[in-house]
Amino acid sequence: MEIQCPSCKKTNSDSSTCVRCGCELQTLQAILQAAESEISISKNKLRMRNPQDALNHALRSWRLKNSPEAAKLAFLAHVSEKRYKEALMWYSAMQIKKENG
CATH number (domain holding residue 8): 1.25.40
DSSP strands (E only) in 1-101: 2-4, 11-13
Q: What is the mean pLDDT of residues 26-31?
A: 95
Which residues are 31's β-sheet partners? none
Per-residue pLDDT at 86: 95
The residue range of the domain holding 60 is 2-100
- Over residues 47-76, the pLDDT tens digits come to 999 999 999 999 999 999 999 999 999 999
pTM to 2 decimals?
A: 0.84
What element of type H or E holds 19?
Answer: none
Q: How many domains, in total, are found in the chain?
A: 1
Phi-psi region of 14 (alpha: psi -120 to 50; beta: other; left: phi over 0): left
